[in-house]
Amino acid sequence: MKIATWNVNSVKARLPVVLDWFRKHAPDIACLQEIKCIDEEFPRLEFEDLGYHVETHGQKTYNGVAILSKRPFEEVRRGLPGDDGDEQARYIEAVVAGDDAPVRVAGIYLPNGNPAPGPKYDYKLSWMARLKRHAADLLAHEEVLVIAGDYNVIPREADVHDPAAWADDALFRPESRAAFRAIKWLGFADAFEQVDGRAHQYSFWDYQGGAWPKDRGIRIDHLLCSPQAADRLTGVTIHRDARGAEKASDHVPVVGEFRV
DNA sequence: ATGGTCGCGTAGCGA
């Protein structure tokens, strides 16, 4: 089973590019971030035509997440628990039947947090604290669980082209990396680090300043795997080539393959 | 091509 995450940076602006990629790579489950539209405006029919079930947690203009699956959803949750006043659509979670076990997938769009310090950074860290609490609850189920998405965190120096240039950025500051580690150390494996782990394998290149042609990227799109998922993980592919497409997103898909 | 980000929404913010 292929489980993908992709920050598409507007599903409507990206639709031809995204549909081409789905036709070519046919993920079984895909989490999309920054769909930038309300549920009613999501191009649902186009994905249903490709054989997908579609669930969205949309928002006007900003944020918004979706989860797509070839198999029907058995359970869907919208919104990250822990703050009923949080209006930002950044979390969706669903369960799909695997061949021999249920598969729970959460799609996340973790707050960027810049500028740091400041209220946006405080929101990022509090969101991560909420994610940690919820992730701990989910781990207790002992399921095949993948938390997939745009974490907006660069875990290691090896995951950024120029660590010094990013030292004060909300994506690389010590508090952000510590919060990411605290979630991971609840008992998750980073899929990429488990099966590959090479330095300088990026998932995002800024539109500005020729970041893509100069390969000035960062790795911020991750698949965190429960032990039951990690045991079944056979490979991870970062679809770097997608960044070179006409009208590309600034992020590329990351796909994990699981025996389930 | 003497420029050099993109999307949303139609100014300026967010990333």
A35: nearest nucleotide, CA–C1' criterion: B7
- Check residue A29 and give its pLDDT: 99
For residue A208, say whether its CB is under 7 Å from any atom of strand B: yes
Give strand B nucleotides closer than 7 A to any protein Cβ: 4-9, 14-15
- Check residue A241 and give its pLDDT: 98
Percentages helix, strand, coil for chain A (3-state, rounded to 5) are 30, 30, 45
Q: Which of residues 144-183 of A touch strand B (CB under 7 A)?
A: 152
Structural domain span for residue A8: 2-258
For residue A201, say whether its CB is under 7 Å from any atom of strand B: no
Cβ(A103)–Cβ(A144) below 8 Å:
yes
- Check residue A174 and give its pLDDT: 98
Distance CA A242, CA A24 (A): 12
Q: Which of residues 43-72 of A touch strand B (CB under 7 A)?
A: 60-63
Distance CA A93, CA A229 (A): 16
Closest CA to A105 of A63, A62, A71, A129: A71
- Check residue A185 and give its pLDDT: 98
- Check residue A178 and give its pLDDT: 98
CA/C1' separation A37–B12 (Å): 19
For chain A, list residues with pLDDT below 50: none
A9: nearest nucleotide, CA–C1' criterion: B7
pLDDT in tens, A212-227: 999 999 999 999 999 9
CA/C1' separation A194–B9 (Å): 43
- Check residue A134 and give its pLDDT: 98
Element (DSSP H or E) covering residue A230: helix A227-230
DSSP A123-137: HHHHHHHHHHHHHHH
For residue A9, say whether its CB is under 7 Å from any atom of strand B: yes
Distance CA A161, CA A248 (A): 20
Query: What's at A90, amino acid-wise?
Result: R
CATH code where residue A185 lies: 3.60.10.10
Number of domains in chain A: 1
| Residue reference for tokens 């592919």 | A237
